């Protein structure tokens, strides 16, 4: 059957001479893989349409969907939102690729979650529209708020007494845990501030230096690795830490 849905491109692999296999998170069906024929063919009218399937692209789709198939097909596709900066601004593009890699590591089952889809879609649009002071803290904001959709939210229980974030338990504690997976008081306070951010434009009020951001990203990567099987390490993280 044919369905209209929106999708976010996560990964693209060349297939044959002219085609692509594209992994997308869709509004109706969750994560799906699509075979798209002929999009790498250039013509007299211009290049092919493969550029629409860049990681983080937001698309409107008409798809054929059958539950029993692992590889679906697309009938029609077009931009759902055309970025103004994200594909051309080096820093924003790197943050977007980091977000895409994180999503790939978390999204394993083809289950629809419309709230998660709209969070993801809004996150990429906000990134495209944000200023530099917001972009610097954006990966941390995304990591902290994404995790709640998978049932592992970090609760903001920070206080002078409970000033250390236990990364195994996901909450603030009053003494150093008996394992190495925790954040010190300075980084824990920064997490508390970030958890209170509800709209990305508020991120420019949180002042963090490069070293603090690096430690927070390392700590949150550990948090994800604890809660997601076979999470491994993020390839985009070292580059992102250097740039931000």
pLDDT at residue number 39: 84
**DSSP H or E run through 95:** helix 90-106
pLDDT at residue number 242: 86
Q: Which pair of tokens denotes residue 237?
A: 């993280």
CA–CA–CA angle 142, 225, 212 (5° rounding) = 55
pLDDT at residue number 214: 94
Which string of DSSP letters, residue by residue, matches 139-189? Answer: HHHHHHHHGGGGT-PPP----SSS-EEETTTTEEESS--SSS-EE-HHHHH
pLDDT at residue number 46: 43
Q: Which domains does the chain have, with CATH numbers?
A: 1-82 (2.40.50.140), 86-244 (1.20.1440.120)
Chain CA centroid to CA 86, Å = 14
Return phi, psi of residue 19, to 5°.
Answer: -115, 170
pLDDT at residue number 42: 63
pLDDT at residue number 230: 93
pTM: 0.93
Per-residue pLDDT of the chain (244 residues; tens, 9 = 90+): 899 999 999 999 999 888 999 999 999 999 999 999 888 776 544 446 888 999 999 999 999 999 888 899 999 999 999 999 999 999 999 999 999 999 999 998 888 999 999 999 999 999 999 999 899 999 999 999 999 999 999 988 899 999 999 999 999 999 999 999 999 999 999 999 999 998 899 999 999 999 999 999 999 999 999 999 999 999 999 999 888 7
What is the chain's Cα-based Rg? 19
Q: How many residues does the chain have?
A: 244
C-alpha pair distances (Å), 209 with each of 17, 50, 97, 214, 238: 47, 38, 22, 9, 16
């Amino acid at each position: 059957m044919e369905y209209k849905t929106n999708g976010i491109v996560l990964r693209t692999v060349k297939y044959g001479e002219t085609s692509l296999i594209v992994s997308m998170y869709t509004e109706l069906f969750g994560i799906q893989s699509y075979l798209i024929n002929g999009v790498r063919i250039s013509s007299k009218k211009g290049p092919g349409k493969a550029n629409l399937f860049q990681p983080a692209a937001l698309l409107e789709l008409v798809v054929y969907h059958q539950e029993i198939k692992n590889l679906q097909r697309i009938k029609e596709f077009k931009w759902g939102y055309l970025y103004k900066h994200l594909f051309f601004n080096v820093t924003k593009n790197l943050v977007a690729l980091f977000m895409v890699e994180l999503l790939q590591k978390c999204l394993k089952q083809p289950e629809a979650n419309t709230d998660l889809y709209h969070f993801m879609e809004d996150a990429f649009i906000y990134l495209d529209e944000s200023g530099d002071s917001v972009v610097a803290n954006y990966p941390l904001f995304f990591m902290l708020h994404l995790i709640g959709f998978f049932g592992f939210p970090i609760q903001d229980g920070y206080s002078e007494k409970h000033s250390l974030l236990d990364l195994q338990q996901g909450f603030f504690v009053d003494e150093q845990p008996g394992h190495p997976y925790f954040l010190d008081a300075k980084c824990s306070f920064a997490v508390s501030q970030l958890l209170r951010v509800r709209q990305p434009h508020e991120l420019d009020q949180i002042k963090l230096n490069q070293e603090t951001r690096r430690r927070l990203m390392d700590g949150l990567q550990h948090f994800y690795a604890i809660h997601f099987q076979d999470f491994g390490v993020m390839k985009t993280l070292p580059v992102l830490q250097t740039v931000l």
